Structure 1
């Protein structure tokens, strides 16, 4: 009987070591497989949904890597709970698109206490120094490409309205500041309106309607993203002013490319969701393996105009 009990204890110990028994409410992970947790800020955001799709597609091509996904739905408390769940699952690395920068310290604190490398995607953490890496498109470069193109279309004179993303979003801050820098270079250009529309098409439309009804003279709209730009275009078209106000955006989403091809949208900027996804997962794998990774990775963007729009439409069709 003692020999039988000793044998059973030995078997259970071995099983626990190799990860073949249950722990808590989940199965212990395979020690031969890297497990990465990914928490997106808002899967309902148009660009966020493309980013999530690209990450899922890329993760399917990887061997010995398991990627689990969570959507915080723009709720910072939900995001913290999801990160805590990743930690309880004993993931090897975590990728997070912070919902709010200013409320992200607890996330990095939790990961640091658990000794799990954490990577910020699109937005940095409040305590970015506690993160292994920050990966994002170069927002300054994107805004420069957009605003310089709009300025040229305006013959470097006229009134500009700026539609901003969320006030606490880093990309919004950088893009809006860059618009100001570009416009300041041209003495005959000035900003006549500037308000946020939360990355949202409907809010962009409502904001543009308000500006048009107020009688503001607007020659161009510089939007922080395509969704808000499309909303502005809908309001402009409804007011019978299509073609009289030049509109630009950022992201080069499939919808915006069709607006660009039709001549309604003047310009957009391609942020490569596939490159961002691959870079974030590859970096997480390196960090999980204890390898040194770059502290900041900026993905360069590409200007999309009526002249080259077809090649970007083809990129989406080939996915």
Structure 2
């Protein structure tokens, strides 16, 4: 059953990528761009990227919730992890005079400028998933604490290693809020365990393939590794595949974040040791609901959605929910 869901999600992701690509920078899907109803309020959705599994889940859930608001037109754009492209797409929303914007930032550096630009024209803006230094200037924020995820993840790894061992950290794209805060959380826990040491650290750009390539290189270098702690599940899965191919799966603890269906399957089979559930559906659904309220001039507030630890003891609960 889980395999079918993963295949379906992949198909949705590919279809969505082609549709967004065909619509240019900031025009959304063709059906949205060609909407003939001039009575509908318009909400622009600026996505950082749809290149990884988790962000695809956010997009899918936003679309499902958008269907519950037929009086609104939702225009999606994919910045493809390019801050300048995201700024251009948001400028297009401003030119179109949309009634609200949902903003998933590419990175923490450019995000404040984009937020300030939207605030200048007094369009309500709901920031989703990634926080940054000036996020309190947004109309509302919907997301989870990346620091909490990093703390929770490394606490469980330390428990499984009994506070002793060599740790390799796989970062997401450098500069992303999730990369910065999740790794910061990891380091805070490591500071409490003097017998645990970071021996290797590099980025794999949130990618399964990059995670696998990086892990292959590390294994070939011969450094003793007791645990691999990745900023997301995709990179953890890539590392796990390399570790399994090298016949070292029983020797190295592997941890990710997001609790994607693939990760849960691998945990159920005893291969993945740790992940942390991030509620993509909750973030996406809530951000759309708040954007609709804001567009209707209703008051909205920030919503924080907690992470949850997933290990062998409770993995079945999360598989049932997916």
Give the TM-score taking structure 1 as reference length.
0.85
Measured after TM superposition, the shift of residue 291 of structure 1 is 3.0
Query: 1:231-270 maps to which residues of 2 (within 5 A)?
Result: 231-270=238-277
1:123 CA displacement: 1.9
Separation in 2, partners of 1:104, 1:82: 13
Distance 1:97 1:249 in 2: 21
Matched ranges for 1:1-319 at <5 A = 30-31=38-39, 33-124=40-131, 127-294=134-301, 296-316=302-322
Q: Cα offset for 1:277? A: 0.9
Seen in structure 2, the aligned counterparts of structure 1 residues 59 and 151 have a Cα distance that, compared at 3 Å, is same
Q: Which runs of 5 or more structure 1 residues have no equivalent in the other structure?
A: 1-24
Q: 1:275 to 1:27 in 2, by over 3 A?
A: closer
Q: 1:26 to 1:52 in 2, by over 3 A?
A: closer
Say if 1:144 and 1:179, in contact at 8 Å, map to a contact too. Answer: yes
- Residue aligned with 1:119, SS: strand
CA–CA distance in 1 between the matches of 2:154 and 2:136? 32
SS of aligned partner of 1:67: strand
Contact 1:102 1:126 in 2 (8 A): no
* Displacement of 1:201: 0.8
**1:62 positional shift:** 2.3
Bigger Rg, structure 1 or 2:
1
Distance 2:95 2:288 in 1: 20
Contact 1:34 1:65 in 2 (8 A): yes
1:64-85 C-alpha deviation (Å, 9 max, x unpaired):
2332211111122221222122
Paired residues, what number?
A: 290
Contact 1:29/1:89, CA 8 A, preserved across alignment = no
Question: How far is 1:45 from its partner?
Answer: 1.7
Q: CA RMSD in A?
A: 2.0
Note the C-alpha offset of 1:192.
Answer: 1.2
Unaligned runs of 5+ in 2: 1-32
Evaluate the alpha carbon distance shift between residue 50 and residue 88 of structure 1 in structure 2; reply closer, same or farther with a 3 A threshold.
same
TM-score using structure 2 length = 0.84
SS in 2 for 1:206: helix
Q: Deviation digits for residues 83-125 of structure 1, max 9, x if unmatched?
A: 1222233211001111122123442243223221112212235
